[in-house]
Amino acid sequence: MPSTHPDAPATGSPANRYDRMEWAGAFGDLGTLIPFVAAYIGVLGMDPFGVLFAFGVSMIACGLYYRTPFPVQPMKAIGAVASIQAVQTAVVTPAAVYSAAIATGIIWFGIGISGLMGRVARLVPPSIVLGIVLGLGFGFMLQGARMMHTDWLVAIVGMAGTLALMGNRAVPAMFVLLAFGAAVGAVQQPELLSRLGAASIGFSAPSFALADVTWNEVFVGLVLLALPQVPLTLGNAVIAITEENNKYFPQRRVTEGKVAVSTGLMNLFSGAIGGVPMCHGAGGMAGHRAFGARTGGSVVILGCILLALALFFSGSVHALFQLFPPAVLGVVLFITGMQLAAGSSTLPAQRGDRIVALACAALCIWNVALGFVAGVALHCLSRRGWLRL
């Protein structure tokens, strides 16, 4: 039965497009991509080539396969822990991050190919899925507000211009916002333009990154980085993204098992060539959609750009990412959060389910894994009559 949602594309037309709205929507996930990639490169000292090459190839593959704005994002918990530990203890090294990607790939590929993922997903009630998506939306908005707080004037101008152009197909809002951000960055940090102008084009090629990994780095990657990420990935990057995709793109439905397998494959590839752990996040799809993307063409476009940067401009990537002020990236995150929260605003009819969904959402603003576990526990207690909500 065809979807009646106003943003859903017409049934029977699943081919990728590469028009100006897909180009604009391609950059809708920069609010999460740039900060984490910059941290991996700037704090951990990872080779920009491996990081960008893995993202680029994975995005192109996902855009061509799923044919919806199916995102590829850094795994947030791993990125945060890796950056903090690298600064405080120097325990986490680039090789430990490669190991975390491989461990993550093995975990999710195994769960997906075994058929276990589908059975696990069926045990999660709709109220929990709603809570995760709603909490992620508000979490993105709060993080966006924090980033906008670094320069409120820039944020207000950027937000006003973006909202005024949202939905404008002649002048896509994202193009104007990126141009505004680059202009502000150039004025605030003119030395970046000199660095970018002096950048040389040099071809780089992928290589095997695991040759010198030690057992200690494997242990750190598995125990400190990969395993704590599993509940977060299950809630946001498997269950929630499946719900989001199937709601807006019913003619290109996916299953949790398929998403788990693709998560596993792209992490196995990423770890092998020196990339970072990656996932599919519901917030990423909301970001692409918020700025006009309706097909996988947007993800292919972003993947091609990252692939070109990796192959020819790896040495200037850090300066390029610094050109966009945090306040402008905060605008992208805030609007992404609004899009995500607005799409999940219909609460369940039963009072108990509403309370479970809201409690899950509130905790997911802080920690998605905790919100998921607490939501499941509340649901089970309520259904058994041990807790009256």
Q: Is residue 202 part of a domain?
A: no
Rounded to an integer, what distance in angstroms lies between the CA atom of residue 140 and that of residue 102? 28
Summarize pLDDT for 25-84 with one digit per residue, the tens: 999 988 888 888 888 887 788 899 999 999 999 999 999 999 999 999 998 777 776 766
Q: Is residue 55 part of a domain?
A: yes
Q: Is residue 196 part of a domain?
A: no
Q: What is the pLDDT of residue 389?
A: 64
Q: What is the pLDDT of residue 320?
A: 83
Q: What is the pLDDT of residue 300?
A: 98
Q: In terms of residue numbers, what domain contains 230?
A: 20-189+208-384
Rounded to an integer, what distance in angstroms lies between the CA atom of residue 103 and that of residue 97? 10
- Per the CB < 8 A criterion, the answer to whether 130 and 239 are in contact is no
pTM: 0.82
**Number of structural domains, the chain?**
1
Q: Is residue 61 part of a domain?
A: yes
Q: Which residues of the chain have pLDDT under 50?
A: 1-11
Q: Is residue 14 part of a domain?
A: no
Return the structure tokens found at 263.
């998560």
Q: Is residue 130 part of a domain?
A: yes
Q: Is residue 15 part of a domain?
A: no
Q: What is the pLDDT of residue 84?
A: 61
Q: What is the pLDDT of residue 4?
A: 43
Q: Is residue 263 part of a domain?
A: yes
Summarize pLDDT for 12-24 with one digit per residue, the tens: 557 999 999 999 9
Q: What is the pLDDT of residue 90?
A: 59
Q: What is the pLDDT of residue 13?
A: 55
Q: What is the pLDDT of residue 1?
A: 37
